[in-house]
Every structure is written in structure tokens, then in C-alpha cells.
Structure 1
Amino acid sequence: MKILLKVSTDIPFGNAADIEVKEENGTPVVSFEPSTHGGPESLWFCLRVKTGTRSKKIKLLMKNVQNILGGGTPENIRPVVSHGGGNWVRLGAPEVKILPDGRTTASWLVTPTKKEFDFAFCYPYGRNEVDNLINDSNGYWKADVIGLSHKDRPLIRLSNSSGNLKRTSRGLYLIARQHSGEMSGSWVLDGFLREVARLKIKDLVIWAVPLSNIDGVTDGDYGKDNFPYDLNRAWGSPAMRHEVLVLQRDLQRWNKRCTPLLAIDFHSPGGCEADGAYFFNSDPKKYPKEHKLDKKWADRMAKEMGPEYTSKNHSRFIDYRSRWETPTFHHYCNLTCKSACLSMETPYGISNGHVLTQDDYRLIGKRMVRAVVKAISDG
């Protein structure tokens, strides 16, 4: 029987490779791998399946799961599906198979409710979601173009105030998507910014760049350690990416217009991590003063976020080997801006047995704002 399914990655955030469509025991099977898009790591995928009039179940099968970043426990992967442009919905645990030669596959059954559906590793977040955030804030957040990306796309920064050169207010600087496929971090930042707008906070100068690696976001890259240079390893002097040059100069302007309180870099960890969110702080041996200040903030955040969303080991420092042992956003904020800084990692799908939704991510961000407000109140 001829299979009429069509699969496309020519969609927002599109990413998949080695796509095959076949049939097994009467069930259509779409198999694929996440594409590296020219980088050393893979994880993110997003594809569209056009079903025509078919309403039978379709199997989505991810091949070679062992090759994605953090792919050791694929039973923790919880992709999302959107039927005909509708709301994204989490899928359940996959069927995991170990092939005779040791390779791993993970598959899910989807029953289409429309003539096409999208299938992604996690809830996508892009420019439309940023625009919704701005519109929902009723004028609280102002959007400015602070420069262009490598491919001449606008880099958007949100702010609630320009501050002043007398530096009379304290400030927060927030950034997400240095690794463009790390969607969960964007949703936490979204919740953070929505709560700030709801509270109408006026005594903090808050600047935020939700989509820092806008080229990777638009092109569907995963973006971890991507060539020509990982955005979060390009923070030296001079900067090794134009986007980082733009961000450094924006941070310098922010630093002149407020007294830095805290900077936060929102990330996602390995694809199968499921023991809650955590924070990377400065190395206690190399930077003991900065580490002490960072850890204090990590402890505050963890306390407010609650045990359901927080790893028991919530405060860490990077002790693994990176492909580039070069400065990060964290280093820049600590050492150049003299600001406490947290690099936050929020799981894609599960936190301490709880399957995460967009509402969960936003609640984490909301609780983080509560930690900031309490810290200021406590002096």
C-alpha cells in the first residue's frame, strides 16, 4: 500500500535528518534523527507530518538516541505535539528499544486530529512568544533592537527602564537561548518577565535578551558548541561572535545606568536529565568571592522554587571539560560587570517525577522573582 504521508522541516524551528517513511504491521512509521546543523552536538528536533485524510495512529521513531547530548536515559524524553497549529501537548514515555548492536531508538504513537501535526523535542519558543509577552505586559516591557546577528537578524532586548547615569537603582540583566535549542530556559524567563510586569516593579532596572542566538533559533539549530563558535564561549576580549560583541556593549550600557544586582543566563541541560533545575556558580577555587555571592543567590532561588522543581544538588560549578575553555557570559558578568551571576539549567521534560508544562516553567520563573523581591526586602 502506498503511504501518502509527507514530512517537512521547512517550518519554524525545523530540524530533522535521515527521514524515512515506511509501514510496519499496518502502522505508518516516520523515523528520523535530530540534525547537528553543522555542529558537534545534536538534540533539538522539530518536524511536520502531513497526513492527508489519514486518522490512524502514526509512529514517530527517533534513531540513534545515544548520540544526542545527555541521551543515556531516553525513557525520560517527553516530546510535544501540535495538531493543525493548535496548542502543544506533551506525549508520554517512549517505547525504548536497544538494537542488537547496542544502538537505541525511542518511539511514540500519535493519533492525528488534523491533516497535519508538528512534533518537537520540547515546547518551541520564538519571536511570536516574545511578542505575546510584550503585548500581555500592557506597555511594561519596551523592545529595542540593540544590534544585528551574524546573519543580519535583529537582536531584541526588552527593558522596563533605561536607568540613569547616577546609577540610583539596582539592576538585573537576563539572557536566554545562547544555545538556540534550549527551549525550557526561554519558558522560565517568560514566566519571570510576566511576573515582573504583573507586579509592575519600578525600583529595578531590568534588561532581558530572550533570543540571544537568533540565527540558531530561526534556523532550528541545537546550538550547543556550534561552529564557528559557541555563543556562550565567545565572551572574551575581543568577542569571538558579533552577537556577543553586541551583548557586551549592551551590558556595559546597563552597568553604567544601574548598580548591578544579579545576572541570569537561562539554559537547558542534557536531553534526559530529570532531577530538577540547578545553577552553575563560579569556581570556588579560582573565584572564591564571586562563588560565595553566586551561591547565596542559588540558595535563595532554590528555596523559593520548591523541591518539585529543584535538584537536590542545586548549586554547582562547571568541572567538566568544554570544547572551548574560553570566557562565558557568567565570567563576563562576574569579572567585568562585578555582578553576581547564575547560569540556570531547567530540564526539558521531567523534574523529580513531575512532567513539565509551559505553566510549570512559568511558575518556576514567577517563584524566582519572589526570591529577588524577598532578597531586596531583606536588604
Structure 2
Amino acid sequence: MRVLTDFCGGNAQILNVEDNKVSFLPDLRDTDGDWFYWAFKVTGAAGKTVTFDMSPKNYVGPFGAAVSHDLYHWEWTGSKIGNGSGFTYTFADDEDCVYFAHDMLYHPSRFYRFCELHRLPLRIIADDNKGTPIPCLTLGVGKNTVILTARHHCCEATGDYIMEGILDEFVHNPIPNIKLIALPFIDADGVVAGDQGKNRRPHDHNRDYIEKPLYAGVRIVQELVKREHPIAVFDLHSPWHTGGRNDKVFFVRSVPEMRERMVELANCFAGRITPDAMQYDIVNDIDPGVEWNNIDKHITCGSWASDIEGNIFGFSLETTYFGESGNVVSQPKLIETGRCFIRAFADYLAAHGVN
């Protein structure tokens, strides 16, 4: 049996491998402090029952590890050990290569495949600091631009599923006079390398909206925003590992002047949620100055963009990694949530006569 991280998104310190037990921890690399992302593959374990232990950490979610055979389709193993310090998996006799992860990864090839399926004009807008291509997709025609971003923190995969749902809905039901620009991998280097991304030293991508940013992906967003003067910049994120509002979908209201508009959009979103989406309740949204939401508004993507003339919305949408009983994360549910979000945005625009 071998436990490896030699794939796009791989991350783990493999401490010990025995016949039926693997000990591991997240690889923090250039992370300041602690974080929870991990992903590895197992080969040569067919027919075995193996326990994967990461104690004293407890970064296995409430429904177990995410499991895949192709890095494209993901399910939950279904259970965890204790408070999340590990999980056990029984390999079928024909399971020669299995991927396990903290959450349902979104491999870059999935986005390329989505664009190819719909014959969308995907382009490489630049290379990241270490040479990884940064893709960009532009859809629609109109005087009003909307910019979508994801993976400022490269481990936060749920945002890309939300983005895929937004784009899928827009392809089939474009909003009149709206041009949509999507950047799915702001930290493209980190996505491929399997970094945590959050709290990266000396600062991470979503603290890089400064005069001279360190990261190529951030420079691209700044250039696009200054050129396009978008009416909205939606930055798609995942929250902390689990617990409280981290098990929900919620808006991060970072700009007090935007609160009233955000509440109205949130109500539109709640009204558009379908049974097939992750459920949403406005009570879980977080206001400026509450808990951790007290960051200088000029250094994060959404709040920096809110200072641009003509901007109506600049904020983060956070989508839980796992959900909770009765509202469990799956790939289809995340994608449907994205569809619901863009429908809600269309409702808001129509109500305010934005055209």
C-alpha cells in the first residue's frame, strides 16, 4: 500500500504507513498558523480495511472524507472517527487507486471540460507567479460587467462549483446587457500544488489588494476592475472547517454602505433557492464588525472593488464544505446553488431597472 500526494491538489504529511493504518497531517508549508486542508491518494490497498488517523487534529468532516476514483466525481465516505480525527475505508477488490480529501475537490480540468462541453471561449489571461496558466471566461455582451472570482484561497473548492452553476445558468438564460467575466483560479499555482492558501505568508491572495500586489491573479483582477468598472464583483469562498455558520451558505457584508442592497439581494436569493440547492437563510449572513469580519476594507477582493465608481456589489459568498444533516453538500447541490444565485441577481437587476 502506498499513500501519495503527487497529483493536482495533493496535500498531506504522511507520518506512518502500516498494513491497515495510515497516520497523516495537513501539510502547512508556507501557512501562518494552522489550517485544515488535506488530500492524498492510496494505491495497492485493494481488499483491505484501512484506518486513516490524523490525531490530534480533527479535520475530517461530519460525513467522513470526500472520496473519488477520478478527481471528478466525489462522494462522502459516510462516517468519521470520534470528533473527526480520522476515518476508516474498506477498499473493494478492484479499487487500485482511490483519492481522499478534506472536501470535494474541484480539479481545473473540470472547468476546462465544462467550457469545452458548452463551446465557451475560454482563454489564458496570464501565467501565475510560478507559471501555472490562469484561465478567464467572458460571456455575454453589454455595458454592465459582472466579475466572478474564486480560489483566492486555493483550498476553497466549493466556490468553483458555485461558479460553474452561475455560468451554466447564464449560458442558458443570459441576463440582458450583462457581460460576465469569470476567473475560477485566482491562486492557480496553489490550486495545482495543493497548498492551503489561506493565511499564506507573508499574506494571502485575499489580503493582496494593495498598490503593488504580490500575486499575478490579483493583478489581473485589479486591471479588469479598473478597466471594466463592473457593477458587481462576486468573490466565491469556503469558510472555516465546520461549526456554526460555517455549516451554512452566507454573505459576508464587509462594506456598511452596501448593507441595504445586500439584504435585498439576499432576500432575492432566499426566494430563488430550490429543493435541489444548498439551503440558505439570511440570518446566517455576517455584518461588518461581527466576529472575524473586521478586515481593512481596502485589501480584500470584494471590498476593494466596492470602491470603484459604478459598483453596486462587491462581496464574498461563503459556501460550506459539508453542510449538515438534511442539507448535506454534494456536487449537484453546489452547482444548483450557483444557478439560484445568478437568478436572484437577475431579479435584483430587474427590480431596479438596471439595463
**TM-score bin (small chain):** 0.7 to 0.9
Q: Distance in 2 between matches of 1:84 and 1:150?
A: 28
Q: Is the 8 A contact 2:190 2:196 kept in 1?
A: yes
CA distance in 2, matches of 1:58, 1:202: 54
Structure 1 stretches of 4+ with a deviation exceeding 3 A read 83-87, 318-326
**Secondary structure of the structure 1 residue equivalent to 2:272:** helix
Q: Which residue pairs with 1:110 in the alignment?
A: 90
Contact 1:77–1:271 at 8 Å: present in 2 too? no
Shift of 1:283: 4.0
Counterparts of residues 245-260 of structure 1 (less than 5 Å):
245-255=219-229, 260=230
Indicate conservation of the 8 Å contact 1:146/1:250, yes or no: no
Secondary structure of the corresponding residue to residue 205 of structure 1: strand
8 Å Cα contact 1:85-1:117 kept in structure 2:
no
Matches within 5 A, 1:64-103: 64-66=56-58, 76=62, 78-83=64-69, 87-96=73-82
Cα shift at 1:214: 0.2
Aligned to 1:147: 126
Q: Where does structure 1 lack aligned partners over 5 or more consecutive residues?
A: 98-103
Taking structure 2 as the reference length, what is the TM-score of the superposition? 0.88
Task: Report the residue type matching 1:16 in the other structure.
Answer: A
For 1:222 and 1:231, how far apart are their aligned partners in 2? 12
2:269 matched residue in structure 1: 301
**Normalising to structure 1: TM-score of the pair?**
0.83
Residues 12-161 of structure 1 aligned to structure 2 (within 5 Å): 12-23=8-19, 28-40=20-32, 41-51=34-44, 54-66=46-58, 76=62, 78-83=64-69, 87-96=73-82, 105-112=85-92, 113-137=94-118, 139=119, 141-161=120-140
- Alpha-carbon distance, 1:132 to partner: 1.3
Query: For residue 187 of structure 1, what is the amino acid of its counterpart?
Result: Y
**Does the Cα contact within 8 Å between 2:63 and 2:76 map onto a contact in 1?**
no
Secondary structure of residue in 1 paired with 2:9:
coil
Which secondary structure does the structure 2 equivalent of 1:20 belong to?
strand
CA distance in 1, matches of 2:148, 2:95: 38
Distance 1:367 1:170 in 2: 20
1:29 and 1:155 map into 2 onto residues whose CA distance is 38
Separation in 2 of the partners of 1:110 and 1:16?
A: 21
Deviation for aligned residue 1:254: 2.2
Give the counterpart of 1:230 among 204, 221, 224.
Answer: 204
Residues 125 and 135, structure 2, Cα contact 8 Å, conserved in 1: yes
Contact 1:276 1:352 in 2 (8 A): no
Instruction: State the distance in 2 between where 1:337 and 1:316 align.
Output: 25
Identify if the C-alpha distance between structure 1 residues 347 and 321 changes in structure 2 by more than 3 Å, giving closer, same or farther. Answer: closer
Q: Higher Cα Rg: structure 1 or 2? A: 1
Query: Which of 88-97 and 327-336 deviates more?
Result: 88-97
Q: 1:281 aligns with which of 244, 250, 253?
A: 253
Asked if 1:262 is matched to 2:267, the reply is no
Deviation at 1:312, TM superposition (A): 5.1
1:61 is displaced (CA, Å) by 2.1
